[in-house]
Chains A and B, each alone.
Chain A
Amino acid sequence: MPDPSFVFAQSISGLTAAMFLFLIASGLSLIFGVLRVLNFAHGTFYMLGAYAAYQLVQWLGVGPGRFWLAALGAAAAVAALGGLIERVLFRHLYGKEELYQLLFTYALVLVLSDSAKMVWGTQQKSVSRPPELTGSFSVFGATIPSYNLLILLLGPAIALAFWFVLQRTRVGRFIRAAALDRETLGALGVNVSALYTWVFVLASFLGGLGGALISPMRATTPGMDTEVIVEAFVVVVIGGLGSFWGTFLGALIYGQVLSFGILLFPRFSIFAVFALMAAVLIVRPWGLLGRPLR
């Protein structure tokens, strides 16, 4: 029997990983749910968020609160870029075959990541943890970095805010309606085109925020976009594409399976995650909380 403090530490690290994945996967899921496009470039928004945070930290310098300003600024910049891309390029994809969508979004990955390389080069970049959160707590004998604790709180907070907007506001009702029947919503006098842009902006914001918030814990390098998009895909496939709580659940499962998987299969914990995804695909192809596609 493993030491309880270790089990606790392991579950916390799984939870932290889950909250990050949720931030990123929720945007991916939202775009699919409403726009019906599988956005392969979502991971690239995450990478750009990390680079933008690095750049803003360079400009703003280190100081209390500066990091948060940089993270919000980075997310906003990525959101603006997302809006532009939706307006100019993405809208030609709606209703097209999946193959075209995949090819297009993949092309976007290549173009954006090469552009990032031209701006920031191939050298890894590193962002420091914000000075107010460099310490750590000891809970039940497990060390938990303060920064991770904040992420643990931020994840559910964003999820709740998200849920509130979708379920309790007028815009949220429109978004849900657009996911069900775009044409009827348009016929009722709602500007669906603008609504789609805003959904894309919101999803890009979440992706950019995920990248910015992860930058103090990871190196910012070219290639981090394609790594994360695979994980995000696994999460949304397990949880159910387009399902909000499904994404949350998928992220939680992913984090815990990875954390505890290394105890059972030290060298194959990533295999455990993919095995789980395969099992879900066989039993419930639409994911745990998703709805079957019509």
Chain B
Amino acid sequence: MYRRTLLVLVIALAVVVPLAADAQKPIKVGMPIPLSGPPALFGDPASKGAMMFVEETNAKGGVLGRKLELLVRDSKADANEAVRQARELILKDNVDFLVGTLTSAEGPAVSVVAKESKIVFIAPIPKTDQLTAPDKLHPYIFRTAANTTIEGRSAAEIVAKWPVTRVATMSFDYAYGQDVTRAFVEHLKKIKPSVQIVDQQWPKLGEQDYNPFINAQMAKKPEAIFSSIWGGFFVTYSKQAKALGVFDTVKYNFIGVGEAATPETTKSMGADYPVGIWGNSYDAFYWGETAAHRDYTARLSKYLKDEYPSSWAIQGYTGMQFLVEAIKKANSTDSDKVAKALLGLTIETPIGPQTIREKDHQANRGQLYGKTAMDPKYPFPIMKPVTYVDPTKFMD
């Protein structure tokens, strides 16, 4: 009798314990993002920003009583590899959601996987308009990055105020470069019809020698230049352009989008930076416009053990934040319910309130813009003054 009771008890335990454990199972989020090669410069801090958000959330008890678990995988900035990682995260690791990818090739590729698997996918960095274009849009894809329309038009709003008419562009010949340049040119012509586009150069992605492109461009005598040469490539481009006197010739009527004025870039170049040009950035530790931002920067600085923390961490952070707020609102981890909750969702991020629009699943994510200048407080140039360009008015 005693034995039988014990047996029943054991069987009952064997059934109940895993069930109880199931309720405590973490909510898994997969993040395929470049952690190697030049794009790791942004992928790595973005993944750390997401990780900081996850740790902070878990320290406060998690979401719906469950812990968050972030699985970060190296996508190598390659669309095929990102797709492979996304599939493996879904099939093998059973992730509930995807947040990640960086390049404009990876984002749309992983979006297809999310559509097939019916899993919510938040893209915090890829900018190409094609990611959420009407023919590519599906219920599970959302973007918390700026897109090429927002970025190109923000730059056009700034350039339109300059006393120039002859404008040239310098961009990489691939999705992002073409899309952001087209958005810039179209918007600029619309708001300032007197503008003439005198030259457009299209070096290949990752070009190392810009001299021939710069010579060809300067031969057309532009008065202002728009560049979307991004990240570490901007360091190479601007060193060569500076040596050829480009910035002096256009009297610093130069705007570099693609985060040409991030603290990372200005820090790595120091006094070699073409101080006086305009640039943009997703974040800047010195912005500090709101208490929420100052608090976030202080936490991030501690988390990354960096006095001047990365401006890219915010993208991983807000991507995760949107996901978690949607899970709370849906009160579920079911992708269909979370996807519905994300539509029109407004959250308070460290850079202010952000809304994911219902019509195109695009957040109204603007960027910080400013004219670069040296500041006695730092050993590198900063944007001064720095302003957040809210894109809400010109997103359509």
Q: Please give the residue numbers on chain A whose beta carbons come within 8 Å of chain B beta carbons, in ascending order.
A: 2-3, 6, 9-10, 13-14, 16-17, 114, 117, 122-126, 128-129, 136, 142-143, 145, 147-148, 216-219, 221-224, 227-228, 258-260, 262-263, 266-267, 269-270
Contact check: which of B201, B232, B244 meets A124 at CB < 8 Å? B232
Quick check: B240 and A222 within 8 Å, CB to CB?
A: no
Q: Can you name 5 extra interface pairs (CB under 8 A) apart from A123-B264, A260-B212, A269-B212?
A: A10-B216, A122-B36, A122-B41, A143-B245, A266-B216
Complex interface: chain B residues within 8 A of A142 (CB): 215
Complex interface: chain A residues within 8 A of B219 (CB): 2-3, 6, 9
Q: CB of B271 within 8 A of chain A?
A: yes
Quick check: B231 and A124 within 8 Å, CB to CB?
A: yes
- A selection of 10 A-B contacts at a CB cut-off of 8 Å is A123-B41, A123-B264, A124-B264, A124-B265, A126-B235, A136-B243, A142-B215, A218-B236, A218-B240, A219-B236
Quick check: A221 and B245 within 8 Å, CB to CB?
A: no
Complex interface: chain A residues within 8 A of B40 (CB): 122, 222
Quick check: B244 and A217 within 8 Å, CB to CB?
A: no
With A and B bound together, what is the CA distance between A285 and B255 in angstroms? Answer: 46
With A and B bound together, what is the CA distance between A227 and B212 in angstroms? Answer: 18
Contact check: which of B36, B201, B235, B270 meets A266 at CB < 8 Å? B201
Complex interface: chain B residues within 8 A of A147 (CB): 243
Q: CB of B213 within 8 A of chain A?
A: yes
Stretch at the interface among B95-103, B110-118, B159-167, B203-211: B203-211
Quick check: A258 and B232 within 8 Å, CB to CB?
A: no
Quick check: A259 and B243 within 8 Å, CB to CB?
A: no
With A and B bound together, what is the CA distance between A3 and B212 in angstroms? Answer: 14
With A and B bound together, what is the CA distance between A266 and B201 in angstroms? Answer: 7
Interface centre among B206, B232, B245 (most CB of A within 10 A): B232
**Interface bits B309-325 vs A (CB < 8 Å: 1, else 0):** 00000000000000000
Quick check: B208 and A221 within 8 Å, CB to CB?
A: no
A228 with B235: in contact, given A124-B38, A126-B269, A136-B245 (CB under 8 Å)? no
Quick check: A222 and B243 within 8 Å, CB to CB?
A: no
Complex interface: chain B residues within 8 A of A224 (CB): 208
With A and B bound together, what is the CA distance between A100 and B206 in angstroms? Answer: 30
Quick check: B215 and A258 within 8 Å, CB to CB?
A: no
Complex interface: chain B residues within 8 A of A217 (CB): 236, 239-240, 243
Mostly, the B contact residues are: helix
Complex interface: chain B residues within 8 A of A228 (CB): 208
Complex interface: chain A residues within 8 A of B239 (CB): 126, 129, 216-219
Contact check: which of A10, A114, A124 meets B235 at CB < 8 Å? A124
Chain A: which residue is nearest B77 at the CB level?
A223
With A and B bound together, what is the CA distance between A228 and B272 in angstroms? Answer: 24
Quick check: B244 and A221 within 8 Å, CB to CB?
A: no
Quick check: B215 and A126 within 8 Å, CB to CB?
A: no
Complex interface: chain A residues within 8 A of B265 (CB): 124
Quick check: A13 and B208 within 8 Å, CB to CB?
A: no
With A and B bound together, what is the CA distance between A46 and B215 in angstroms? Answer: 27
Quick check: B211 and A219 within 8 Å, CB to CB?
A: no
Complex interface: chain A residues within 8 A of B264 (CB): 123-124
Complex interface: chain A residues within 8 A of B233 (CB): 219
**Interface bits B38-59 vs A (CB < 8 Å: 1, else 0):** 1011001000000000000000
Q: How many residues of B are in contact with the other chain, CB < 8 A?
A: 37
Distance of A121 from chain B, by nearest CB (Å): 9
Quick check: B213 and A227 within 8 Å, CB to CB?
A: no
Distance of B85 from chain A, by nearest CB (Å): 18
Q: CB of B202 within 8 A of chain A?
A: yes
Quick check: B213 and A219 within 8 Å, CB to CB?
A: no
Chain B: which residue is nearest A54 at the CB level?
B268
Chain A: which residue is nearest B199 at the CB level?
A266
With A and B bound together, what is the CA distance between A17 and B243 in angstroms? Answer: 15
Complex interface: chain B residues within 8 A of A128 (CB): 270-272
Complex interface: chain B residues within 8 A of A124 (CB): 38, 41, 231-232, 235, 264-265, 268
Q: CB of B353 within 8 A of chain A?
A: no
Complex interface: chain B residues within 8 A of A3 (CB): 219
With A and B bound together, what is the CA distance between A61 and B208 in angstroms? Answer: 26
Quick check: B211 and A13 within 8 Å, CB to CB?
A: yes
Contact check: which of A148, A222, A262 meets B212 at CB < 8 Å? A262
Complex interface: chain B residues within 8 A of A10 (CB): 212, 215-216
Complex interface: chain A residues within 8 A of B216 (CB): 6, 10, 262-263, 266
With A and B bound together, what is the CA distance between A16 and B212 in angstroms? Answer: 11
With A and B bound together, what is the CA distance between A263 and B208 in angstroms? Answer: 18
Quick check: A143 and B244 within 8 Å, CB to CB?
A: yes
Complex interface: chain A residues within 8 A of B204 (CB): 270
Q: CB of B173 within 8 A of chain A?
A: yes
Quick check: A145 and B244 within 8 Å, CB to CB?
A: yes
Q: CB of B37 within 8 A of chain A?
A: yes
Quick check: A259 and B244 within 8 Å, CB to CB?
A: no
Distance of B291 from chain A, by nearest CB (Å): 29
Quick check: B36 and A222 within 8 Å, CB to CB?
A: yes
Quick check: A123 and B208 within 8 Å, CB to CB?
A: no
Chain B: which residue is nearest A14 at the CB level?
B212
Complex interface: chain A residues within 8 A of B232 (CB): 124, 219, 221
Complex interface: chain B residues within 8 A of A219 (CB): 232-233, 235-236, 239, 268
Chain B: which residue is nearest A122 at the CB level?
B40
Quick check: B236 and A258 within 8 Å, CB to CB?
A: no
Complex interface: chain A residues within 8 A of B268 (CB): 123-126, 219
With A and B bound together, what is the CA distance between A216 and B272 in angstroms? Answer: 10
Quick check: A136 and B208 within 8 Å, CB to CB?
A: no
Quick check: A136 and B212 within 8 Å, CB to CB?
A: no
Distance of A182 from chain B, by nearest CB (Å): 36
Quick check: B208 and A218 within 8 Å, CB to CB?
A: yes
Complex interface: chain B residues within 8 A of A136 (CB): 243-245
Contact check: which of B243, B271, B272 meets A148 at CB < 8 Å? B243
With A and B bound together, what is the CA distance between A6 and B215 in angstroms? Answer: 7
Distance of A278 from chain B, by nearest CB (Å): 18
With A and B bound together, what is the CA distance between A219 and B230 in angstroms? Answer: 12
Contact check: which of B44, B173, B213, B245 meets A122 at CB < 8 Å? B44
Distance of A107 from chain B, by nearest CB (Å): 16
With A and B bound together, what is the CA distance between A286 and B238 in angstroms? Answer: 39
Distance of B178 from chain A, by nearest CB (Å): 10
